[in-house]
Structure formats: C-alpha cells, structure tokens
Structure 1
Amino acid sequence: MTASPVEILPARRIRLVETALPELSGRHRSAMDRAWEEAVRANPALFDGPVAALTGLERDGADGLVLSWARATYRYRALRQVPDAPAYASLFVSVAQPADDGRLTVGRMAPSTAAPGRWQLPGGTVEPPDHGAELDLMTLRAHAARELAEETGSETPADALTPWLTTLGGRGNVGVMFTAPPRPAEELYDRYAELVKTETARGRDPEFDRIELLGSTADLESLDGPHVDYLRPVLGAYTHA
C-alpha cells in the first residue's frame, strides 16, 4: 500500500467531458517509449491497449464532479518513470460486492497482471468508448458490471449497481465506485471457484488468483501482500455506513 492519502468525494452527480490529450515533447515521448519497453520486458503480459486518461477534476457544486478525460494507451503510464514529464492520472471503476453478512469481496491480482500480488476491489481502468460515443455514468456502470463478472464470476446487471462514492488518490487517480446487491458468502466463493475452473480449462489465468471477504479495516492485516491505497478508507466508509 502506498502512503499517499486518499480523499473520499461524496459525488452524487458525475459529468464526464472528453478533451484532447496534451502534446508530449519529442524527448518525453522517446523516454516514455523506452520506459514502456522496459516494463514489457519485465512483464510480457502488459499490453498497450486503449485507456481513458484523466486530465482534470473539478467540483460541481456541493455534490457533483466534472471529470475531464482523453483517449490514451497504457504506455502513457510509463511517464511516471520519466523525470519532469507530465503524468496522466488513471480513471477506474470498482465494485463493493458485499456478502449477506456485510463483508466485502476483495481479490488478489494474479502474477500475469500489471500489479501482481496487489489486493483490491473488483474493477479496472476505464476504456474509452468508440469514437462518437459518449463516456457517461451509464457507461461506467456497465464497465463495472463487466469487471465484476470477469474477476469474480458474480454476474450482476449493470442497472443493479448503485453509484456510491468517488475516490481521489495521491497521484491524482480517480475511482468511481458502485455497490452491488448482497449475495450469500458461500455463493460468492462458489461463483469465483467456477470462474477459475472455466478460465483454467480455456488455458487462461483468472485476473484474481484469490478472493477474500473483509469485515473491517482490521482484516486488512491478514492479507498476504500490498493493497491499493483506496482500500482502507473505502472499507472504513462502508463498514461505518
């Protein structure tokens, strides 16, 4: 877990505005490409797919946010390794999937992922829509439902997910979080086990190599590895509510 503070933003309304990706100097672009190539050599599972990079965040009254984003690819994250280069923050979605006893589902990222061994809520980085299509809260909800199914095996209709809160990390990363309807704990484990069985039969590794249910921030100490910076404050907010 990083030491960066995470701010919980009580955003009831979210508006997303597409912007142009700021231009990079030739020096920064070359350094970014070199850093990305080094990262791929270290982890061949990385891919330079499309991603929605966060370019700005503004408050919209007491309960709203305006998130500006631009079309980029994963290699732009390598700019974080380049001195004096502009850094692009990440925009991601997450799902608080509770068991019927109130505990939340967390998963450990598999060795083949970009963050092996890291614990987090089900979710992932937001991908841009097709050109001409709009990125809005409905799109984020659908993306969150897809991530929940792909990582845990729990298929939940997008319209059953409820917007909950937004997090702002120390690096400027923003996470839009939803809550899912509770399921029996045994069912959550069974659905995950079935997902692992199916993915293994297809010759693929699941994105989570393990899941756990956490009932409080104290349970974080039982996790065998680091966890994302937002997990402690989000878990605290959920158990407090």
Structure 2
Amino acid sequence: MPPQPFGEVELMDVRALRLVETTAPPVPPAHQVTQDAVWEAAVLQNPTGLFDGPVVACAGLRRDDAGTVVLSWARVTYRHFALRRVPGAAVLPSVFVAVAQPTGRGGLLVGRMSATTAAPGRLQLPGGSVEPPEARAGLDGSALARHAARELREETGIAVAHEDLTLWALSRGEHGNIGVFFRAPSLPEALIRERFRAVLAAERAAGRDAELREIVLPRSVRELSGVTGPRVDYLHPILDLHARTPVRVSR
C-alpha cells in the first residue's frame, strides 16, 4: 500500500523493518550556543517534564528492493531537538513507538498526558521516544517491540508480551518525526479500566504523578470529537486506520 497522507501526517504500511545505525551530523559551534540557550529556557519552564537523556533520531527512511522499510538512526540527546528553534540548523527527526490497544467493543485506548510531562494534557496512544541501546549494541524490530510493551505496561498497567505485538504502521508527522506503531490483541474495556486505575493508585501511593492522567476508548474520530484538549498529530489518521483493521483477540 502506498503512503497515505492525512493533512500534516503521512501513514505508511510496513510489513518488515530494518534499522541501521549511523552518526548524527556535527553541530556548528554557533548553532550549539543557541541550542543550549533554547534548551535551558525550556527546562526552566518545565523542569519535571524535560531531561537531556539519550534518545534515537531518524537519519533517513526508505524502502529497499524487497519492500522492507529501512530506518537509519543516530544517537542524540533530547537537547538535539532544541535545534528546531535555531535558524538554518540541521535537525534530525525523533523516533517514537506507540501501541494501539483495541477494546472488545471496537474502541482504541487513548490517554491524556499528565501536567508534569513534556506535553501536558495531550491526547495520544501509550508510547514514547525510543532510547538507544548500549554502545556498540544494535537496534532492531524486536527491541522496538520490547520498548513499546514496556511503555504500555508502565502507562496503563496492561502487560502484553512483546512477541504478541504486531508491527502495524509508520507515521511521519510534525518535524518529520517517525512513529513506529504496534497493535496489541484486544482486551475487554472493564479490564483495561481496571488496570489503569491500579496504575493511578500505585503512582499516587508512591507520591508521583502517573504519566497518563486519564484514558478514553473511542471507536472513531467522531466519538473523540467531544473530548477537549490538544491531541497528537497522528491520532485521527490512526483512529481511521484502526476502524478499518480487523481486531485480534487476546489469548
């Protein structure tokens, strides 16, 4: 299936994914000074939601002759993305994973980010930026699936083996950011809500804010229309794709 554009977001069908490590381009000293100033100002505004840890960036995306999507990636830190505010700077897009968790009634789990995160109040799927492996270690589809399963468990309390996650789609959205989407087997709505309530209770007991403050389970973009607040750019096209995709039942 060819890429499908949805406004600013492009969804790509993917059956196989290969990841190849490369090196991020050097940052000129003048750009680095401005980058550092932008980053420090952002941290002052959101000290709990931002940290300069290691993260994966996309250095290229293509299909090979066999139809496999080849994603070239580089090791950077979150500070790298402050270059988006530096005129003329070369900036690599970020890479994130997300999990589409269907419900038995045809819904899709959508969470709202807590106030202490980098995107307060935003509606999105469970997931997060991809962290690089240790030096000289490789990154592959299984590693991405493990990361996606961990994000799903930490944010919602739903434990799914990474082998049970199906590589589903890629997105290219704002700033060229690349999303790798996995689809989980469906679960009953009551079980999803029960697991999420347990996460909220555990985080409160530990004196922390949960990463997601609430969840909704829309079956379509129309059902989401009554939910207010900002939403991630891929959410509507992913909901459209979900509505057209048969659901697997959890074993």
TM normalised by structure 2 equals: 0.92
* 1:85 and 2:97 aligned: no
Paired with 1:78 and 1:235, the residues of 2 have a C-alpha distance of 30
Instruction: Tell me the equivalent position of 2:70.
Output: 66
Deviations 1:79-129 (A, max 9, x none): 111111112201010000011111000001111111111100000000000
3-state SS of the aligned residue for 2:187? coil
State the shift of 1:220 in Å: 2.5
Q: 1:118 aligns with which of 107, 112, 122?
A: 122
1:143 aligns with 2:147: yes
Distance 1:135 1:39 in 2: 30
Q: Is 2:53 the partner of 1:56?
A: no
Q: Determine if contact 2:14/2:167 at 8 Å carries over to the other structure.
A: no
The total of aligned residue pairs comes to 239
Aligned counterpart, 2:19: 16
Q: Secondary structure at the residue paired with 1:176?
A: strand
CA contact (8 A) 1:100 1:183 kept: yes
SS in 2 for 1:225: coil
Share of identical aligned residues, percent? Answer: 49
2:97, 2:147 within 8 Å by CA — same for their partners in 1?
A: yes
TM-score of the two chains, using structure 1 as the length reference: 0.96
Residue 212 of structure 1 corresponds to 216
Give distance in 2, aligned partners of 1:191 and 1:213. Answer: 14
Specify which of 30, 34, 37 is matched with residue 31 of structure 1: 34
Do the aligned residues in 1 keep the contact of 2:169 with 2:182 (CA within 8 Å)? yes
Mapped partners of 1:19, 1:82: distance in 2: 23
Look up the match of 2:3.
Answer: none
Q: What secondary structure sits across from 1:9 in the alignment?
A: strand
- Answer with 167-176 or 209-218: which moved more: 167-176
Q: How far did 1:232 drift?
A: 0.6
1:206 Cα offset (Å): 0.6
Q: Match of 1:107? A: 111
Q: C-alpha distance in 1, partners of 2:65/2:211? A: 38
Pairwise CA RMSD of aligned residues?
Answer: 1.2
- C-alpha displacement at 1:4, in angstroms? 5.3
Cα distance in 2 between the residues matched to 1:49 and 1:177: 23
- Residue 80 (structure 2) aligns with: 76
1:164-175, aligned counterparts within 5 Å? Answer: 164-175=168-179
Note if contact 1:10-1:63 (Cα within 8 Å) is conserved in structure 2.
no
Q: Give the structure 1 partner of residue 249 of structure 2.
A: none
Residue deviations 1:122-180 (CA, integer Å, cap 9, x gap):
00000000112110000000000000001111111111111111111142111111111
Tell me the amino acid that sits aligned with residue 17 of structure 2: I
- 5 Å matches for 1:189-204? 189-204=193-208
Residue aligned with 2:17, SS: strand
SS of the counterpart of 1:98?
A: coil
Q: Which runs of 5+ in 2 are unaligned?
A: 1-5, 246-251
